[in-house]
Structure 1
Amino acid sequence: MGLSLSAWFYSRVSDGPVSSSSPFPPLAVQTCSRLAVTLNSSPVSPEDSCSHWSSVHCSPHFLLSACKQKVIRSPAELSSDGVRADFGVKEGLHVWEVWWSPDHRGSHAVIGISRQDCPLQASGYKVLVGGDAQSWGWELKTNELWHDGQMSETPLPIPERVLLVLDADAGTLAFIVDGTFLGEAFEDLPRGEQLFPAVSSVRGGAIIQLRYLNGDPPALMALCGLSIRQFLGQQRQNQIDKLPLPPFLQHYLLSSH
């Protein structure tokens, strides 16, 4: 159920379906109902302020677009540079979308989550997001997970679009790639502290786009709708109009499927 919902969500908000040659579907991990509902909900407006990069908490080598959803790293030698989102969260389940072309990554291209005090500039070429205890990151070029300067490897080619799934209540960070929920990459993130999406880069001309998609708590109606669809199963989804429900609820179930 989790994989099918994630794949449906991917095709709904992207330009095309999940690639049949993707290496990620075999690695799918079952999503909980809470995440499934979040993914099954309509994305918030692209203009939502939660989609903004911070104009203050960023390296001077990052330039923000007028809409604040994109940052561009200026060419700078022997410098590692980071930026975090303008708004963080202390509780709830939240999903952000990050677009970063593989052609614009170079080395030390990292996406993840940070506290307020994560360093956003350093001399030389290094991992910033995940390089200390203030952040957790996925290095996209080498497929390494980083926290507190320690890393573990995940040897897979990472496409342009990655979803960050932060459960601030449980203290976990996970990723969705090619419509596939890969499970928890990090646990034991601090609870009750503001946590921000963040990236770091060393490549001149790198363009990185952020969009906040959705968060919980989900509406009770959405949870009930998910339970009904799970009960019906894929084979009986076309029988929703036969349920003993008011037309309004039947229409809701059909339109949210």
Structure 2
Amino acid sequence: MGLTLCRWLSRDCHRRNRYPYGQSSSPFTPFAVTPASRLAVLLDTPPAPPADPRSSWSPAHHSPNFTLSRDGTVAERAPAEQSTDGVRGAEGERAGLHVWEVRWDPAERGSHAAVGVSTHRCPRQASGYTALVGGDIPQEGGMARRGGVRTTPLLPVPARVLMVLDGDAGTLGFVVDGCFLGVAVRDLPRGACLFPAVSSVWGGCRITLRYLNGAPREPPSLTSLCRLSIRQSMGKDRETQTDRLPLPPGLRRLLWNAAC
């Protein structure tokens, strides 16, 4: 149930809609799809505090070859031959829309780097080199892992990837380089607690997890939709333009950095 980071995406993808926050210079723009309003609002909302417990890797559910930083946000894999090692988040989600950030240096991924979500049954270690993420779900009924398309030209996945879990719809998607790439996995088990998870074969790699935001199943408020529309209309320079608007200070603060 995830993305195999050592694979690549082709420029020939059939999805052509631009993501409203995507940069025109990004090579991923041709892949972008327009996110639903609930996700668009969530991605434009200030992130949760770094100390949110959902930003931590689990101290109990990881391979012996992984060690965690003191605050639990960084997992580091020790060098180990012929072994694939995994780690999952400390807390999972059963419902709602949730976004996690995973930071993983492309130079530290090796041949079988994978990121996605797992249940509590996901294996933590395997002999040889494989992708552990998704090993707890039979690859049938639309739940098989989905990687890239091996055609040319090829695009590398950058260090920062956002995972978008919709527990209500049972889907998993990814945001790469500011572009929402649409649904990557469907038919995730409804009602099951799903955790962010990674697996690696690269000795010395460091993988950072951060929970960014979450939202219930209910549609976003009218206030948040108006805020999003205004900020999109202002474009990239909205940070410098907000103070120039003929608005009360409270509304300017709302447009700048307030959650709705």
TM-score for both structures, normalised by structure 1: 0.79
> Secondary structure at the residue paired with 2:19?
helix
Partner residue of 2:192? 193
TM-superposed CA distance for 1:221, in Å, is: 3.3
**Structure-to-structure mapping, 1:216-227, within 5 angstroms:** 216-217=215-216, 221-227=223-229
Q: Work out whether residues 92 and 216 of structure 1, in 8 Å CA contact, stay in contact via their aligned partners in 2.
A: yes
- Please say if 1:175 is aligned against 2:174: yes
Partner residue of 1:30? 34
Amino acid in the other structure paired with 2:250: F
Which ranges of structure 2 fall in alignment gaps of 5 or more residues?
A: 1-16
TM-superposed CA distance for 1:223, in Å, is: 3.1
Q: Distance in 2 between the 1:226 and 1:40 partners?
A: 7
> Secondary structure at the residue paired with 2:20?
helix
Partner residue of 1:75? 79
User: Among 240, 247, 254, which residue is 1:252 paired with?
Assistant: 254
Partner residue of 2:51? 47
Q: Which has the higher helix share?
A: 1
- Please say if 1:3 is aligned against 2:19: yes
Q: Work out whether residues 131 and 147 of structure 1, in 8 Å CA contact, stay in contact via their aligned partners in 2.
A: no
Partner residue of 1:204? 203
TM-superposed CA distance for 1:252, in Å, is: 2.0
State the Cα RMSD in Å.
Answer: 2.9
Say which is worse superposed, 76-85 or 122-131, in terms of deviation: 122-131
TM-superposed CA distance for 1:126, in Å, is: 1.1
Q: Work out whether residues 75 and 204 of structure 1, in 8 Å CA contact, stay in contact via their aligned partners in 2.
A: yes
Q: Work out whether residues 119 and 136 of structure 2, in 8 Å CA contact, stay in contact via their aligned partners in 1.
A: no
Which ranges of structure 1 fall in alignment gaps of 5 or more residues?
A: 8-17, 136-145
Q: Work out whether residues 110 and 199 of structure 1, in 8 Å CA contact, stay in contact via their aligned partners in 2.
A: yes
- Please say if 1:118 is aligned against 2:122: yes
> Secondary structure at the residue paired with 2:126?
strand
Q: Distance in 2 between the 1:252 and 1:194 partners?
A: 33
Q: Work out whether residues 74 and 207 of structure 2, in 8 Å CA contact, stay in contact via their aligned partners in 1.
A: yes
TM-superposed CA distance for 1:70, in Å, is: 0.4
Q: Distance in 2 between the 1:255 and 1:72 partners?
A: 33
**Structure-to-structure mapping, 1:95-106, within 5 angstroms:** 95-106=99-110
Q: Distance in 2 between the 1:228 and 1:102 partners?
A: 35
TM-superposed CA distance for 1:134, in Å, is: 6.4
Q: Work out whether residues 171 and 185 of structure 2, in 8 Å CA contact, stay in contact via their aligned partners in 1.
A: yes
TM-superposed CA distance for 1:254, in Å, is: 5.1
Q: Distance in 2 between the 1:165 and 1:122 partners?
A: 26
TM-superposed CA distance for 1:226, in Å, is: 2.6
Alignment size in residue pairs = 229
TM-superposed CA distance for 1:256, in Å, is: 5.7
- Please say if 1:56 is aligned against 2:60: yes
Amino acid in the other structure paired with 1:175: F
Amino acid in the other structure paired with 1:121: Q
Identity, % of aligned positions? 54
Partner residue of 1:143? none
Cα deviations across residues 53-95 of structure 1 (Å, max 9, x unaligned)? 0011111110011110001111111111100000000111111
Flag the 1:153–1:229 CA change in 2: closer, same or farther, 3 A: closer
Partner residue of 2:92? 88
Flag the 1:221–1:61 CA change in 2: closer, same or farther, 3 A: same
> Secondary structure at the residue paired with 2:85?
strand
> Secondary structure at the residue paired with 1:38?
helix
> Secondary structure at the residue paired with 2:182?
strand
Amino acid in the other structure paired with 1:249: L
TM-superposed CA distance for 1:3, in Å, is: 2.2
Partner residue of 1:14? none
Q: Distance in 1 between the 2:73 and 2:138 partners?
A: 23
Partner residue of 1:11? none
